[in-house]
Amino acid sequence: MTLRKNEQKVTVKMSLRLGLGNLSRVQEVLVLALMLVSVFALFFSEIELTYKIGIAALAFSVIFLTSLANQLLGQEKEKSQL
């Protein structure tokens, strides 16, 4: 396939892209690990339902706060570049 001079080359980055925005790869791996650990804790353990609900709420809040903090940092970076 030939490219003309004016066309831009598009690079494809490997990413898990869990729908969490522009997380770095390390953050993506940590969020994925947290998801896996919480799934194992919820479905494959013999603990009470209240603890399972607490684990699910804690995992959700950590993932949510991670993505929120990353978005805020991205906005601050854009604002400082203007």
Within-domain flag for 68: yes
Decide: helix, strand or coil at residue 11.
Answer: coil
Residue 2 lies in a domain: no
End-to-end CA distance of the chain: 38
Q: Which amino acid is at 80?
A: S
Q: Provide the percentage of residues in the chain whose pLDDT is more than 70.
A: 72
Q: What are phi and psi of 11, to 5 degrees?
A: -105, 140
Quick one: pLDDT band at residue 12, thresholds 50, 70, 90? very low
The count of structural domains within the chain is: 1
- Domain region containing 40: 25-81
Average pLDDT, the chain: 78
Q: Is residue 64 within 8 Å of 35, Cβ to Cβ?
A: no
Residue 7 lies in a domain: no
Domain assignment present for residue 8? The answer is: no
Query: With 70 as the cut, is the pLDDT of residue 20 above it?
Result: no
